[in-house]
Each structure stands twice: as structure tokens, then as C-alpha cells.
Amino acid sequence: MRRRLSVVLAGAAAIALSAPAYAQVPAGCAPNALNIPGAPFPCIYTDGRVTFRVSAPDAQKVRVRMGQGFEMTKGGDGLWSVTTTSLVEGFHYYTLAIDGSTVADPATRTFFGSGFYNSAIEVPARDADFYAAKAVPHGQVRQLSYFSKVTGQWRRAFVYTPPDYDTRTSAKYPVLYLLHGWGEDETGWTLQGHVELITDNLIAAGRAKPMLIVMDNLNAVRPGESAALYAARGTLTQAVVQSAQPAGAPARAGGPGRGGAAGAGRGGPLASEVFTEMMLADLVPMVERTYRVAAGRENRAMAGLSMGGAQTFGTALANLDKFAYIGGFSGSSGGGAAFDPKTTSGGVYADAAAFNKKVKLLFLGIGGAEGPNTRNFSDQLTKAGITNIYYESPGTAHEWLTWRRCFYEFAPRLFQSR
Amino acid sequence: MRRRLSVVLAGAAAIALSAPAYAQVPAGCAPNALNIPGAPFPCIYTDGRVTFRVSAPDAQKVRVRMGQGFEMTKGGDGLWSVTTTSLVEGFHYYTLAIDGSTVADPATRTFFGSGFYNSAIEVPARDADFYAAKAVPHGQVRQLSYFSKVTGQWRRAFVYTPPDYDTRTSAKYPVLYLLHGWGEDETGWTLQGHVELITDNLIAAGRAKPMLIVMDNLNAVRPGESAALYAARGTLTQAVVQSAQPAGAPARAGGPGRGGAAGAGRGGPLASEVFTEMMLADLVPMVERTYRVAAGRENRAMAGLSMGGAQTFGTALANLDKFAYIGGFSGSSGGGAAFDPKTTSGGVYADAAAFNKKVKLLFLGIGGAEGPNTRNFSDQLTKAGITNIYYESPGTAHEWLTWRRCFYEFAPRLFQSR
């Protein structure tokens, strides 16, 4: 077998040769799965400690921004490094502060969160198998462009189609509309969430119905409305970026981040009416024109995480003629202490029997480290006679491992009444 | 019409309120189209000058790395800024050097180039209309996972399907295999190249045949081969990142970058045999299993940019029983001064009449600022009796506007012999 490296690029070769030798990862420290190809750092120990290493030869101070943060020190080789305390398993956004400037670490892939492109580490989870790529039939994630009359702009949506979509050409499929969180976008559920792999695996195991999953951007403003309004809703201006705390900082590593204290939708007004209008007037009709979609509310579900969970409750509870399955992941704690079935969410919970007949699934998920609000909400619903499922991801905070697990518990319960 | 902002997130609001007021863009300076939502800088003047602005309160030195680079100065507001000389129109990668650390600017989206995630600006092109989203039927870009036996790994590919693919359910389609350049990946042609919009527009105008476009990653190593080999081929280790010159730096702004001097494949060995084997053994069969593909070499094309152009020539010229249409964009200057039809590329050009009968299109594209090598190669081919198309993008360097234009000239010439 010939293994000749048959491309020689003069430029690349020169760069590679002139680069300083880079420290190897310490024994027992495996490169982060989200690193760019070939980058040895950050690396992760089996106990969840992470070693970061950064080149910043002329900097005075370099920090890893994650939770309370970790000060780096400059070594004899001129590189800055730090080894953290043990981090909880899961996906964690982070950034670097280099002499006060907040930037992504060039050693990792970047992920849109908190309104800009963060670095991230993936501390391996004990149950990572459920979102692993396996030798099972794979669906596709399709990118669509469509014009929204409500916003006056072109939008991008992603649609997961199950493995058999192109071969069962007369079959019609139920649809889940699935939303990201604050400061994220329509790429989150695939890039951070691996939703396509989770669904492939569930379908292959016979545990979930083949379904379409539509992932759009929960930000929507009307034509002429200011970007500031857009920014306030779901993204950040550059100025904010520089002082923002990335979401998903692990609770164990320090500060609460936006963890349990954030989960959108406790108390105040919940959801954007512009998004709801856009979704019902533009997105749903586009999806139903483009795909073979099974008709009726019992073939339509909606779910979301954090702010997307709040949006889900706002949109779906106000349109129960259109949705029969509803999920909120870390974003659906309802009225909290102020919960009153007669008034919360426009009184939709007032007639429990009618609600239970109409809503085939009301799913509330949360990370175990996020606090008691969602559990309390579930208890209040139960006390008011509202059937609901409460799921708690063991030990995780306001981050993507929580939401992957929530989805894994949620998806098998969809479209089971057909 | 109600315009109430009905989501209030305590965390987001607090951050927004505590952030320092950010300088507005100067008159006549429009925010870069590739900025994150809400970011005013970088902004671009109509004459191509760009103003960058960065928060780095404790830094001693901040530079924009693009071509020769631009030193930033710290203003009274504590923010660093610089206005460049006029940059040539098109897409330009850039990074920041903050006290010697090379990082992406958090104000823009990030794009995989030179083996990591760069920032980028888009200096508006006079002919930008051809890659704009318009009210025409839109195709889809589909993400697929497949397992390669040759590499022993799961791979990701993107496939553009034309607007009528899901409605003309008995039609079969020709396929173009389209490769990115050195240090880029399978996302390049959609995120940087807008290939799906260009194709939508060409099909709507009746100028291109509806086709499938398969975009994969040109990096492929055998099981057990080291990541260093992979890195040397197409990506960079973190150490290299810190000293690498991003591709696509505009020639007018200074140094040559990897521009005309780089274009993979002049002289030395051209293409990876592992990629060719993977493509023919794994990728093509997967595509032909998954989609309704028209049979035969006259329904199969291959093209690529820079190193992907060199790979295209290496793969396709050695397999003319499988490909009838071939394109190289900034990456196909063949043997240069050493060109000899009897020996170059294994003597494939030796019998011009046979070659011309077999190869329905041999397309050579280049940016006008990239130097004469590709034109010379085209002239040598012509002199040797080989029919070929030479296209030069006016004034552009080794960057994506060149390749968008190349594609726009190339695609209408595909699959016309059927």
C-alpha cells in the first residue's frame, strides 16, 4: 500500500517548518473533541480537568473565561497555560481574555452562543453513546433559504429529514419545530446538539417515529425595526460581546453563568409575537410546501431550550389548534411562585381535563444543577391536574449536554398517538 | 400593529445596560456584511477602505493581520482602531494580533481557512448580484454523514440539490464534485462561496442545467496515519495557526499572501492518492446510492479551487473513464515552464484529438492579480492542441470572489453535451 504524501505545498511546508515545536499533551490528557484538526490543546483529563495552552508572547495577562475563570501563567516556552479544576461533563462555551480583550481560542472550532463565535470544550459524558455517529441509517440536515413576509428578509432554516425520507416517497411525516437558546442561532441544534445523530440512533432503535425536525432562528423583527431590538432579543452587539458572560459555563467551575438563574421565561412576558407570526405565516407554510408533511395538529410538535423554550410555550400554548406536543428544556418554568392555573399563560391551564385531552405531551426538562424552578413548575402543573413529564439531567448545568439529554427523552414521546 | 418587545431576559438586559456605549459607524461606512448581528465594526467605505475597531483595554499592541497588516491605535475611548487603505473587492480572511496572539475578531462570523476559524470582511463587488439571494426557486444544501472504508472514519459531505429535485421525482441529475482549497473544508463553497445561490440564479435564468453539487473535504488519510500528515496536507496545528498567514489577503493591501505564488500544483506532485481512492470507493457510491444520479461519465464533473483544483486534476485526469468535465480555479497551472504534453499528468495530453473527444470541458480560472501561470498553462495547452477555456476574474487575488466568478463562468458550461 502506497502512503506517499503526494501534495507538497511550498507555503504550507515553509510555515510548518518555521513554527516553534509545540508542547505535546501531557500523559492522560486527550485533545478536546472540538479542537481544530491537529491542535493538541485544550486537552481533557479523565477526571474533567482541562489544560489550556495559548500563544500570546507579548501579553501581560491571559485568562480562560468560563465560570469564574482561570488565570493562565506564562511558561519558559513563552506559552500561556493553565489546568482547571474538574469540570462537569458536557459542552462548555469559553473564551480567552488577552490583555482584556475577549476572543475565541484559535485552537477550537467556533460555536455561535451569547451572540458571537465562542470556543468550546466537550468534557466526555458517560452516556455519550446516545449522540455518537454509528453504523445506522443516517438522515440528512438540509439548509433552506426562504423569504419571510413578516420580517421582510431572507431567512435560513435547517430541516432534518429521516433516513427513509427519500425512499418512502409517498410517506408523509410529522414535524417538530425545535428552537435554540438566547444568543444562539439555527445552527445550534446540529453543531452543539448533535440532534441529527440522536434522532438517527433513536429511529434505528425503533424508539422514535421518523419525523422532520425544523430548526430556525428565534430572532425576528419587523421590517424597519432596529437591530438594537434584534440584539436585545437574542444577540449582542460587539460592545456587549466584550463584556458578555458566555452561556454554558459549568456551575462546578465557578460562577452561575446564566445557569439556573437565567432560564428564560420565569415571570415576565415570555415570547416574541413577531416570531410567532413569522413562524405561522411564513415558516410552517414553507415547510409544508417543501416537504411531505402529515396534516393536522397531532402531527406537529414544538420545543426549544432556554429562551427557545419560553418561545415555544408562548407560541404553542396560544395556538393549541396547531400543536399537540410541547417541550421546554431549561426554559419553561412558567409562572414560578406566581403560577396560577386560572391566569398563567392566558388561562390555558384553567380547564385541566380539556388541556390534557388536547395536549398529547407537555415535557419539562432541566439540568440537575440549574435549580428547582422547573421541578416546582412541574409540581404546580401536576397539582392543577395538568399531565406533564418532568425530566432532570443528572448533574448538568445550563448547557448542551442537558439539552441533548432532554431531546433524547422527549423525542421518543412524540407522535405516539397516531 | 403591535410592536411590543415581549421577551425580557434579565441577564441579557443587564448586560446590555452595563455595556459601554459603542461608537457609531462613521458616515459613509457600512457594517461589513459578515459581522455578527448588531456589530457596527468592521465597516466598509465605498472606496474599499475598512475601519476596524477592537476592545483590548490592557493591550500594548494590536494589529489587523491581512496582507502586510495594519497597526491599530488606541483612542480616547479605550478602543483600538484603524482605517485601511482601499482593499480590492471580494472576500478577505483576516485575524487580529493582540500582543502577539493571533485570534479571530469577535465582531465577525468565523470561516474555516488556513486550518482554523478566521474573521472575514466582504468588500462589496460591483457584480455581487450574481451571488445574491433572490426571489427565484431555491435548492437545498444537505448535510450527510457517511463512513469511509478507505479512511476508517465518518465523514461529512454537503450536497446541493436543485429546486426541482423533490418535485420531479423521476428525474435523474448530473453531479459536480466541487472541492475547497488548502486549509479550508467542506463548508467553504457554501459559507464563503455562496455556491447554492449562484446555482439557484443560474438555473432560474435558464443558464445552467439543474445538477447536484457534492462538497466534501479534500483531506483524507488512511487509518492509523498521523494527524501530522493530515495537518501538513490541508490544515494546521495550533502552533502553525499562531504564525500562519491567512489565505485570501488582498494583494492590493500589501504582501502577496498565498496569492499568485501559491496556487497548488505547479511543478511538484499534485494530488492525494488517498483522497482519490476515498472519493471513488466511498463518496461517489454513497452519492449514487442516496440520490437520483444520471449514469455515466458525461454526467459527472469535478472542479476545485487552489489545492482543490490540483486535486481535481490529479483525480479526474487519471480517471477520464469517470469524468467528462474538469475545472480548476486558481489551482490548475499544470507543469508551468516544465509543461510537456508527452509527460505532464502522465501523458494525458499527448493525444490531443483523443483528449478533446473525451473531455467535454477543461476550464482554467484565475484571479487577475494572481500572476500569469494559469494563462501560460492555458496557452501551452492550446499550443498542444488541447481545447480549454481560460477565464480571468478582473482584478481579484487568491480569494473567494475569484472562485465565485470562476464557478459562475464554469457551471453554465456543464452537462451541455447531453
pLDDT at A77: 81
Higher pLDDT, B242 or A58: A58
Q: Which of B157, B155, B174 is nearest to B165 (CA)?
A: B174
Q: Which of B89, B254, B140, B98 is nearest to A242 (CA)?
A: B98
CA distance A361 to chain B (A): 24
Share of chain A above pLDDT 70, in %: 82
Q: Which of A283, A349, A292 is nearest to A322 (CA)?
A: A283
**CA distance from start to end of chain A:** 54
pLDDT at A139: 96
In the stretch 173-202 of chain A, residues with CB closer than 8 A to chain B read 182-183, 190, 196-197
Could you say which of B36, B55, B229 has the minimum Cβ distance to residue A235?
Answer: B36
CB within 8 A of B4, min separation 6: which ones?
A: A269, A273
Could you say which of B10, B96, B231 has the minimum Cβ distance to residue A37?
Answer: B231
pLDDT at B253: 29
Q: Which of A274-283, B330-339, B373-382 has the lowest mean pLDDT?
A: B330-339
Q: Which of A180-194, B114-128, B209-223, B267-281 has the lowest mean pLDDT?
A: B267-281
Domains of chain B with CATH codes? 2-124 (2.60.40.10), 130-230+269-413 (3.40.50.1820)
**DSSP letter at A299?**
G
Q: Using CA atoms, how far apart are residues A296 and A278, in angstroms rounded to an integer?
A: 19
Q: What is the mean pLDDT of residues A356-377?
A: 95
Q: What is the mean pLDDT of residues B318-326?
A: 97
Total beta-carbon pairs less than 8 A apart between chain A and chain B? 332
Q: Using CA atoms, how far apart are residues B261 and B274, in angstroms rounded to an integer?
A: 26
Q: Using CA atoms, how far apart are residues B238 and A32, in angstroms rounded to an integer?
A: 13
**Cell numbers 465597516 correspond to what residue?**
B43
pLDDT at B23: 52
Which residues in chain A are contacts of B21 at CB distance < 8 A?
239
Amino acid found at A159: V
Amino acid found at A405: R
pLDDT at A309: 94
With cut-offs at 50, 70 and 90, classify the pLDDT of residue B227.
low
Per-residue pLDDT for B384 more than 60? yes
Q: Using CA atoms, how far apart are residues A88 and A250, in angstroms rounded to an integer?
A: 6
Per-residue pLDDT for B8 more than 50? no
Could you say which of B8, B38, B142 has the minimum Cβ distance to residue A236?
Answer: B38
Q: Using CA atoms, how far apart are residues A300 and A312, in angstroms rounded to an integer?
A: 12
Per-residue pLDDT for B243 more than 50? no
Whether A242 and B55 lie within 8 Å, measured CB to CB: yes
CA distance A399 to chain B (A): 16
Give the number of residues written for chain A. Answer: 418
* Average pLDDT of chain B, as a whole number: 85
**Cell numbers 457551471 correspond to what residue?**
B411
CA distance A352 to chain B (A): 26
With cut-offs at 50, 70 and 90, classify the pLDDT of residue B199.
very high
Question: ipTM of the predicted structure?
Answer: 0.84
Per-residue pLDDT of A278-328, as tens digits, reads 999 999 999 999 999 999 999 999 999 999 999 999 999 999 999 999 999
CB within 8 A of B175, min separation 6: which ones?
A: B211, B212, B213, B214, B287, B291, B293, B294, B299, B300, B301
Per-residue pLDDT of A112-159, as tens digits, reads 998 899 999 999 999 999 999 999 999 999 999 999 999 999 999 999
Q: What is the residue-wise DSSP string for B117-167?
A: EEEEEEEPPTTGGGGS--SS---EEEEEEEEETTTTEEEEEEEEE-TTTTT
Which residues in chain B are contacts of A110 at CB distance < 8 A?
104, 110, 117
B398 inside 8 A of chain A by CB: no
Instruction: Choose from B189, B215, B237, B238 for mutation: most chain A CBs within 10 A.
Output: B238
Per-residue pLDDT for A228 more than 60? no
Question: Cβ distance B109 to B122 under 8 Å?
Answer: no
Q: What is the residue-wise DSSP string for A301-344?
A: EEEEETHHHHHHHHHHHTTTTT-SEEEEES---TTGGG--TTTG
Higher pLDDT, B67 or A137: A137
Could you say which of A95, A227, A237 has the minimum Cβ distance to residue B22?
Answer: A237
**Cell numbers 516553534 correspond to what residue?**
A20
Neighbours of A336 (CB within 10 A): 15
Whether A19 and B243 lie within 8 Å, measured CB to CB: yes
CA distance A46 to chain B (A): 22
Please give the residue of chain A at the shortest CA–CA distance from B262: A11
In the stretch 289-328 of chain B, residues with CB closer than 8 A to chain A read 290-291, 307, 310-311, 314
Q: Using CA atoms, how far apart are residues B195 and B217, in angstroms rounded to an integer?
A: 16
Q: Which of A102, A106, A101 is nearest to A114 (CA)?
A: A102
Per-residue pLDDT of A378-400, as tens digits, reads 999 999 999 999 999 999 999 99
**pTM (2 decimals)?**
0.87
In the stretch 133-162 of chain A, residues with CB closer than 8 A to chain B read 133, 135, 138, 140-147, 154
With cut-offs at 50, 70 and 90, classify the pLDDT of residue A272.
confident
Q: What is the mean pLDDT of residues A251-275?
A: 43
Positive or negative, the CA dihedral B295, B298, B304, B310 is positive
Q: Using CA atoms, how far apart are residues B29 and B21, in angstroms rounded to an integer?
A: 18
Per-residue pLDDT for B18 more than 70? no
Whether A183 and B12 lie within 8 Å, measured CB to CB: yes
Where is A82: in which H helix or E strand?
A: strand A79-83
Per-residue pLDDT for B403 more than 70? yes
With cut-offs at 50, 70 and 90, classify the pLDDT of residue B334.
low
Question: Cβ distance A95 to A106 under 8 Å?
Answer: no
Which residues in chain A are contacts of B74 at CB distance < 8 A?
none
Per-residue pLDDT of B133-190, as tens digits, reads 999 999 999 999 999 999 999 999 999 999 999 999 999 999 999 999 988 999 999 9
Per-residue pLDDT of A29-51, as tens digits, reads 999 999 998 889 999 999 999 99
Whether B106 and A107 lie within 8 Å, measured CB to CB: no
Which residues in chain B are contacts of A197 at CB distance < 8 A?
145
Please give the residue of chain A at the shortest CA–CA distance from B155: A133
In the stretch 62-121 of chain A, residues with CB closer than 8 A to chain B read 62, 95-96, 98-107, 109-110, 112, 115-117
Whether A100 and B56 lie within 8 Å, measured CB to CB: yes
Question: Cβ distance A260 to A371 under 8 Å?
Answer: yes
**CA distance from start to end of chain B:** 54
Per-residue pLDDT for B231 more than 60? no
With cut-offs at 50, 70 and 90, classify the pLDDT of residue B9.
very low
Please give the residue of chain B at the shortest CA–CA distance from A155: B133
Q: What is the mean pLDDT of residues B400-418?
A: 93
Per-residue pLDDT for B255 more than 90? no
Whether A15 and B236 lie within 8 Å, measured CB to CB: yes
CA distance A247 to chain B (A): 10
Instruction: Choose from B53, B61, B103 for mutation: most chain A CBs within 10 A.
Output: B103
Half-sphere exposure of A291 (CA within 13 A, CB side): 30
Question: Cβ distance B238 to A38 under 8 Å?
Answer: yes
Please give the residue of chain A at the shortest CA–CA distance from B268: A8
